[in-house]
Amino acid sequence: MGLEFGFGVVQVGVQTERSALAYLDKVLKPLGAVTDGSQFLEPDGAKIIIEILHMRNNINAKNLDFCRSAAVDSSGRELNRNRLIALMSAIVLEEHPGTTVVTDSVTSDGLTVFIEKKLGGKHHRFKRGYKNVIDEAIRLNSIGEESHLAMETSGHGALKENHWLDDGAYMMVKLLNKLAGARTLNPNIGSKVLTDLVEGLEEAAVTVEIRLKIDQNHADLKGGPFRDYGESILKHLESVISKDPNLRKAPKNHEGVRVSGYGGWFLLRLSLHDPVLPLNIEAQSKNDAIKLGLAVLAAANEFSALDTIALNKFLQQ
């Protein structure tokens, strides 16, 4: 995919772990971009995880392993996770009004409001796993529901126009293309055109992930598989939630138990492969996050093979 407009004097920083995004340096320079400050562009076989922000850059495009991506604007604000999905959704919904955006299960309630209320699209929250997300978008198209974007909060993402390839570099080119187009109208706009696209996205003040481990050797499992034990925990949690007027279970959910309340939400789900129940909590204050955590603890305490030390530690901070 080529960029539609020249960059003028905009500076774009490129960095990568394994030179997967190195070709962008070769693509951008002929278009007028100044890529001084780019790093890790030579293949070395190593997986380097070093992030250096050059504050003079208009946008710092980062690709972690060719498939995942993120960006940093000129103010140092990271465009990743929910922000990156919101940004890509804004761009895609300009091109395909009303389309469905498929994401993984741990995206925020604020992202749903942003996609559906501000952008006029539809948010379809599915399961963790980039292949699950992409396959679900393909399935929706096959039954007549238009979808052009599938993304995980990890930075994995795919677009219908790119044949549903898990391609973080392609998404970065989409962002740079948007930036270049805006600069033809206003050469001084910088990366503000991108940050403006996510204006209005509600973001939680407290975000936490806690992993609750199941002891597979504990007598409480009675020799059964950890997955059955984990499913029993989730079923009991649903029962506990149904009796709390301050909490409400998500009407549509494809993984684990997702609950909203106290101005935030939590998701407790069973890991795909490990004897672990990851718990994600987002809230507007620590006190509200604790209230959500206490609801989970009330159910978890009934299962002696479940290690709740990490959850208790969070609640006591």
What domains does the chain contain, in order, with CATH numbers? 12-197 (3.40.120.10), 206-316 (3.30.310.50)
> How many CA atoms, within 13 angstroms, populate the side-chain half-sphere of residue 29?
9
Structural element, H or E, at residue 168: helix 168-185
Decide: 164 and 134 in contact? Cβ < 8 Å: yes
- Report CA Rg, the chain: 21
The CA distance from 177 to 174, in Å, is 5
The CA distance from 96 to 94, in Å, is 6
Decide: 65 and 18 in contact? Cβ < 8 Å: yes
Task: Output the tens digit of pLDDT for each of the chain's 317 residues.
Answer: 333 344 444 444 545 444 444 555 555 555 555 555 555 455 443 333 333 333 334 444 444 445 666 677 667 778 889 999 999 999 999 999 999 999 999 999 999 999 999 999 999 999 999 999 999 999 999 999 999 999 999 989 999 999 999 988 888 888 888 877 877 777 666 667 788 899 999 999 999 999 999 999 999 999 999 999 999 999 999 999 999 999 999 999 999 999 999 999 999 999 988 999 999 999 999 999 999 999 999 999 999 999 999 999 999 98
